[in-house]
Structure 1
Amino acid sequence: MHIESLYRYPVKGLSPETLNGAHLAPGRCLPWDRAFALAQGDAAFDPENPAWVQKSHFMCLARNAKIANLKSCFDDAARRLVVTAPEGQRLEADPFTPAGQDALTAFLTRYLGAEARYGANGKAPRFHHFPNHSFCDHKTQVISLIGRGSLAALEAAAGATRDKRRFRANIYIENIEPWAEFAWMGRHIRVGETVLEVQEPIDRCAATSVNPDTAERDANPVKELQQHFGHIELGVFAAVVQGGEIRPGDEIALLG
């Protein structure tokens, strides 16, 4: 088994970025993964205490399919985030400064249109970043992995291609049997220089129905998983217990 491809998703819900490598740290997610998010105005999210809340409190694919048409690019060295709309509108901003966050808030809120939600007293959506915080779907910072064998099994059962980008994993694993990763629960795997503890399978949601190229809801992988396999799980979450470098092509081995 080895890493087929490696991705991060700097802005929650927006486009993936392919990586040639990454440095993982114990207890942390992949660097800059879900580092930014647009909280809806009615979100139960406290910027003074940025704790985990469910994805529905943010701009997300599960509720806002149209955002699949936004293309984002984050340059962490230059501290710049670029977001481009399908009609060509483009914003480049510093996502770490109040001015940059204001600009990103306005751009994304305009794009959402009627899907932008407002809270009590007209509280508006707000773009956020907090050092060392990740707006991931898990209550703790983890790495998500999907075996290409499991995805191939789903495609065969559905009788159709299911683009891997629908599932928004960090690591895709090549040369692995279907559903083999589900046998790793509570065990450790070596990935490149790192060691991860596999914690739980990933329940899939309505975000997977969105075509990453067209932003149309043109498939139902959740229903397909339930119908053909009796569950709605694809991929696993794992915590980093020993840090180091990982890159595409690195071997993956089950320990112990």
Structure 2
Amino acid sequence: MRIESIYRYPVKGLTAEALEEVALTPGETLPDDRRFALAQGDSAFDPAAPHWLPKRNFGCLMANARLALVHSAYDSRTGDLALRFPDEPLFVASTRSEEGRAAIAARLAAFMGDEARGAPRFVEAPGHSFSDVAKKVVSIIGLTSLHALEQAAGAALDPLRFRANVYVSGGMPWAEFDWIGQEIQLGQARLRVVKRIVRCPATEVNPATAERDAEPPRWLRTHFGHADLGVYAEVLEAGRIAAGDALEVLG
């Protein structure tokens, strides 16, 4: 099997950013993956004492499909976040200043309209990841499994609906489910696969149009008896991964 594409998602619920290669660190996510989030006004998230909370505490595609229309780009060197809203000029603000974070929160909240609860905050906490799971992991999807779902449902599905970090080709459909508890060599890094990824209504959202025009969770249950696609893996040994690198199951 080989890596076809790699993505990070600096802001939870916003744009996927493609990477040609990236260095993985033991016990960590991809650098800057889910580093930021828009905490709803009624969220209990405290940047001074961060702990994992369910996704509904934050702006997310499961509840806020409209966010798919916002195109974002994060500059890791400067800390600037660029946001392009439909029919509006490019908006850029710093994630490193209180003023910049407040401006980002205000623009996103205004765009969300009634879906913004209270006074949302644009938040980060050093070392914290706004992942859908509490453990710091890398998400991997086998494209043959996705193609099996497409064939069964009779529908084409943009892989970015599933917001994985790594997409791999080759192998048999659903083979990645057999890796649970096993180690894999991914490029120069070694990881342990820890669990399957249960799919939620976020995957119903078309990343290009923000329309809910597909039902992957229901299609998975109907045709395969589960709602899972992809796996989570924790990094055990540091190393770089790049498009074209091999994935090998170590056992």
TM-score, reference length from structure 1: 0.96
SS state at 1:208 partner: helix
Aligned to 1:121: none
Q: Name structure 1 gaps, 5 residues minimum.
A: 119-123
Deviates more, 1:41-50 or 1:163-172: 41-50
Alignment of structure 1 residues 146-161 onto 2, 5 Å = 146-161=141-156
Shift of 1:88: 2.2
- 2:22 aligned with 1:27: no
Shift of 1:94: 1.0
Runs ≥4 residues deviating over 4 A:
none
Aligned to 1:72: 72
After superposition, give the CA deviation of every residue in 1:59-112 in whole Å (9 maximum; x if it has no partner): 000000000000000110122110110112421111121111011011111111
Shift of 1:45: 1.6
Root mean square deviation, CA, Å: 0.8
Aligned to 2:83: 83
Task: Return the letter of the residue paired with 1:23.
Answer: A
- 2:234 aligned with 1:211: no
Aligned to 1:99: 99
The alignment-based identity, stated in percent, is 50
- 2: CA distance, partners of 1:65 / 1:7: 20
- 2: CA distance, partners of 1:188 / 1:77: 33
Aligned to 1:130: 125
Shift of 1:176: 2.0
Q: Name structure 2 gaps, 5 residues minimum.
A: none
Aligned to 2:249: 254
- 2: CA distance, partners of 1:100 / 1:134: 20
After superposition, give the CA deviation of every residue in 1:190-233 in whole Å (9 maximum; x if it has no partner): 00110010000000001000001110000100000000000000
Alignment of structure 1 residues 229-244 onto 2, 5 Å = 229-244=224-239
Deviates more, 1:79-88 or 1:27-36: 79-88
Shift of 1:49: 0.9
- 2: CA distance, partners of 1:252 / 1:176: 10
TM-score, reference length from structure 2: 0.98
- 2: CA distance, partners of 1:174 / 1:214: 26
Aligned to 2:47: 47
**Paired residues, what number?**
251
- 1: CA distance, partners of 2:34 / 2:96: 14
